[in-house]
Chains A and B, each alone.
Chain A
């Protein structure tokens, strides 16, 4: 199995495998919410789950486009700044919420598929837009996903929407 294949497996397993074994993954922690819940914030200045989902998607999609040799400007991905926070949708837009969640999962799967297709030589090539090499960019996305996944858990817990099967870890 190639190094790129291993990286892709980690990216996908920690995100969309309900039995990832390390911690509750994105697919679990975003499950079972309505649009109103996903768009809600526990108090002013907090993020909503939906906003975090869009943020996670933004950075995975950015990396995917860059790896394909495409441009990835914030504006093209629905964000107004380079921090990458496309706004959450309306609390009444159930289809929009489900689409946002599905989009994040689909991008993760597509990013993993693309990484698997890279040779060991290709995965160590520079990714100039991020000032690093491709492999390190993938590892940083795995870390970024992890950081914000637990943020989602906390946002849910604060509002009383427990995540089944999560004694936190």
Chain B
């Protein structure tokens, strides 16, 4: 039996994703592209790029277009994370992609029927409902949203870096 998360509605999940965007925008207010490359050991720029890669997975599941171009995506997928500053997406552009991608994510979610919501998807060898898969992507989104709080604090304390 596939893992389910059906008590959450698509509309509620859209709201939850939106709250993360709101949090990230608030956490990063006033930070420059150079700031986004300064935090250590991981650049805030990498974390936001990683969040965008993750959101593109959700958009793909919903039949929506990804926000990052392929060349941009490859900057944020290596493990362990290694970001070449010269290849980094401009931070203000990252934040725009995040904000502008949210309506597509929400629309894709709101289009889902009850049958869509509970259809099975494969993640590796695991069978999940679409709802469970999207909820997993949301927890990942939230996980790294928590990281942006600490990295912003780090950037704001010059003596730390």
A interface, CB within 8 angstroms of B: 1, 3, 6-7, 9-10, 14, 21-23, 42-46, 123-124, 135-136, 139, 142-143, 146-151, 153-155, 157-158, 167-169
A167 / chain B contacts, CB cutoff of 8 Å: 79-81
B interface, CB within 8 angstroms of A: 1, 3-8, 12, 16, 40-42, 50, 79-81, 126, 132, 135-136, 138-140, 142-147, 149-151, 153-154, 157, 159-160
Given contacts A23-B140, A147-B142, contact A155 B80 (CB under 8 A): no
Asked whether A157 lies within 8 Å of B153 as measured between CB atoms, the reply is no
> Bound state CA distance, A64 and B51, in angstroms?
31
Chain A: CB-nearest residue to B13: A139
Q: Which of A10, A45, A124 contacts B5 (CB 8 A)?
A: A10
Given contacts A46-B150, A154-B151, contact A22 B139 (CB under 8 A): yes
B16 / chain A contacts, CB cutoff of 8 Å: 139, 143
List 20 additional A-B contacts (Cβ < 8 Å) besides A46-B150, A46-B153, A168-B50: A6-B3, A7-B7, A10-B3, A10-B135, A42-B160, A43-B154, A45-B157, A135-B8, A139-B5, A139-B16, A143-B139, A146-B143, A147-B145, A154-B42, A158-B40, A167-B79, A167-B81, A168-B80, A169-B79, A169-B140
Given contacts A150-B146, A157-B41, A169-B50, contact A143 B138 (CB under 8 A): yes
Asked whether B136 lies within 8 Å of A22 as measured between CB atoms, the reply is yes
A10 / chain B contacts, CB cutoff of 8 Å: 3, 5, 135
B140 / chain A contacts, CB cutoff of 8 Å: 22-23, 146, 169
Chain A: CB-nearest residue to B46: A168
**From DSSP, what is the main secondary structure of chain A's interface residues?**
helix
Given contacts A157-B42, A167-B79, A167-B81, contact A123 B157 (CB under 8 A): no
Asked whether A43 lies within 8 Å of B5 as measured between CB atoms, the reply is no
> Bound state CA distance, A133 and B160, in angstroms?
43
Chain B: CB-nearest residue to A22: B136
> Bound state CA distance, A142 and B50, in angstroms?
20
Give B121 Cβ to nearest chain A Cβ, in Å. Answer: 15
A158 / chain B contacts, CB cutoff of 8 Å: 40-41, 150, 154, 160
